[in-house]
Structure 1
């Protein structure tokens, strides 16, 4: 997940969660098989933009190898990488890595080998920011979007206003779907165990999903079910490329540029999303919210509503604490619990949870520019 929201610039106040109620018998520490992946624990490292690649080439270095290796060694079940670009025009932050050149693929091989040597599982999050960018980041091309509607705000870490995007043609969309499929194939070549399609947080796929940013009148516009057409095409193409058991899809109501956004009818929206995922044969979902415990409709949270209509795998995320995660796992609401900022500041996060040790506090200024 990209941390473009204001929350990233604030420190977490939670530094000591204490021992878990069930201790080492906690479901968090159970091994589990989801899709093609045999995970050491029911934990995941949530995807978080780190901006540590070479800015010109999008190639990751040895510091990134060590960053992910340490978390795998500690026992994180599933590592979901920072957002990885599918093309040069997908870029929305400086120093973001890619998976569209041979050089990028070769560099990622060192990361996946290191993770696998520690018995870990790692997947690449495929990312295109769409209109949330600036032409200086996209080789002087305007950002791509479903409609030529400018987002409000500034590009994170670039501090320039979002550009007016270029409305994508049907040929552009066809090319985009192919780029996602190729990036997924590149991920497997690089040694990743699979991929996550970033269809959340107001980035390109989610821009097609939203009536805020999608005013099209062709087959990619219309009501929500029709606006999900691009997401379905991308998901189907990636599944065809690497298999449904290696393809996760992330979706949300939350928009990085509109943090307070919520669907007008959340339950209807989730039912519509789930129907789309079932239609294309998806089996692994990562519903994303900023607050896991927030009730959004009918007395239920987002993940509880997804579970109401979805029998497949659900990865839960949203400022989770271990006790909340444990309860959600026990209830069957989620199958794996994803943690974000605590895993940035604590490479030994799993060990500290098991031992009831105090956590190092996450501080944006300390942990954004420095690998742990």
Structure 2
């Protein structure tokens, strides 16, 4: 196994002790959308990772589309997240908050009072259901198209969320522009049917994401901001489109212009999605000047090889971190991994969350 996997790396203002990233994973354990002590235990248990990226966290009451996901848009939520950052830092770890506005991937019953299901355009999600506590799976309603005022407010919400994250002790933030959530909804012509400055041609479809990037960078600095993308991803009714390569290469250029510290590329082939072509991964590698995070069905050996040959500087692991809090130690010792229990991925409570055992030292 390559020693590069365990080598330190400087990520903007943050010194990482290894190249292993804990990928963002929704776990649905927040209480009334507020992070809690159990979440602090969960993240603290996994602080061996060079970098932890949290589960998707909403910058707005309108972005809390799933049940029990956390927000970071008020003081109570920021105080809850401070429990998490303190637990991770106490064990020598580093942690970024993933900012995720669900946009049209939502149900009104999962939103607080006054929350709205917003999207670039009124495009139906016809193949996707949304779980609601006490009501099981529900059809997703037609979203409300965002006005220019809504867009302006949303940009400000991202910036405010980033500031609250830094105030809560996070080392940085990741903007979630992947998997069919709000930022990608603007990028994708299937969900963005606008005919104003935020829709139509490539530059217009990128405008909202650009505005969010620039606002967040202005607030906390580009060396504390990364972004996640999923070209060719099919999650939440997205999929390939005519200028998908050009869109993501141009987005990488915008990230360069704004000084973003990393680009995180998603490949869900291991979860049954179509493979992401190597061509677009190579284009993004050549275009983006910062740190590249690769993710998708990696094991320790493949991760080490891809770091050695320069495909990326960091590699993210998702489900292995759920069932192996000590994943880094297991990789280092070539020890067997525990398999996760999928039925407890999204259930409330500690079972399948903070009760996976670690190996004796």
Number of aligned positions between the proteins:
342
Q: Which has the higher contact order (CA 8 A, sep 6+)?
A: 1
Contact 2:59–2:100 (Cα < 8 Å) also in 1: yes
CA–CA distance in structure 1, aligned partners of residues 329 and 261 of structure 2: 30
Q: TM-score, normalised by structure 1?
A: 0.87
Task: Find out whether 1:202 has 2:180 as its counterpart.
Answer: yes
CA–CA distance in structure 2, aligned partners of residues 348 and 220 of structure 1: 44
Decide whether aligned partners of structure 1 residues 123 and 141 sit closer, same or farther in structure 2, where only a CA change above 3 A counts. closer
Deviations 1:162-218, CA, capped at 9 Å, x for gaps? 111000000000000000000000001111111011111110110000000101011
Deviations 1:15-47, CA, capped at 9 Å, x for gaps? xxxxxx34xxx2111111111110010010000
CA–CA distance in structure 2, aligned partners of residues 296 and 61 of structure 1: 36
Structure 2: gaps of 5 or more residues: 355-361
Task: Find out whether 1:29 has 2:6 as its counterpart.
Answer: yes
The answer for the alignment partner of 2:332 in structure 1 is 354
Which of 258, 264, 269 aligns to 2:237? It is 258
Task: Find out whether 1:176 has 2:149 as its counterpart.
Answer: no
Task: Find out whether 1:154 has 2:129 as its counterpart.
Answer: yes
Task: Find out whether 1:244 has 2:222 as its counterpart.
Answer: yes
CA–CA distance in structure 2, aligned partners of residues 27 and 265 of structure 1: 35
The answer for the alignment partner of 1:14 in structure 2 is none
Deviations 1:225-247, CA, capped at 9 Å, x for gaps? 32010000001100011100000
Alignment of 1:1-372 (within 5 A): 21-22=1-2, 26-55=3-32, 58-72=33-47, 75-138=48-111, 139=113, 141-152=115-126, 153-156=128-131, 158-253=136-231, 254-258=233-237, 261-291=239-269, 296-297=276-277, 300-369=278-347, 370-372=352-354
Higher mean displacement: 276-285 or 333-342 = 276-285
Runs of 4+ in 1 over 6 A off after TM superposition: 292-295
Contact 2:64–2:102 (Cα < 8 Å) also in 1: yes
Kindly report the root-mean-square deviation, in angstroms, between the aligned alpha carbons of the 2 structures. Answer: 1.9
Decide whether aligned partners of structure 1 residues 142 and 267 sit closer, same or farther in structure 2, where only a CA change above 3 A counts. closer
Deviation at 1:84, TM superposition (A): 0.9
Deviations 1:326-366, CA, capped at 9 Å, x for gaps? 11101111111100000001101111111111111122114
CA–CA distance in structure 2, aligned partners of residues 141 and 100 of structure 1: 13
CA–CA distance in structure 2, aligned partners of residues 29 and 124 of structure 1: 23
CA–CA distance in structure 2, aligned partners of residues 291 and 305 of structure 1: 19
Contact 1:142–1:164 (Cα < 8 Å) also in 2: no
Helix, strand or coil: the match of 2:139?
Answer: coil
Structure 1: gaps of 5 or more residues: 1-20
The answer for the alignment partner of 1:16 in structure 2 is none
Deviation at 1:287, TM superposition (A): 1.6
Contact 1:294–1:301 (Cα < 8 Å) also in 2: no
Contact 1:199–1:250 (Cα < 8 Å) also in 2: yes
Contact 2:176–2:227 (Cα < 8 Å) also in 1: yes
CA–CA distance in structure 2, aligned partners of residues 241 and 255 of structure 1: 32
Deviation at 1:220, TM superposition (A): 0.2
CA–CA distance in structure 2, aligned partners of residues 367 and 93 of structure 1: 13
Decide whether aligned partners of structure 1 residues 367 and 169 sit closer, same or farther in structure 2, where only a CA change above 3 A counts. closer
Deviation at 1:61, TM superposition (A): 1.5
Deviations 1:114-169, CA, capped at 9 Å, x for gaps? 11111110010011000011111223644100001111211146511111100000
The answer for the alignment partner of 1:17 in structure 2 is none
Helix, strand or coil: the match of 1:319?
Answer: coil
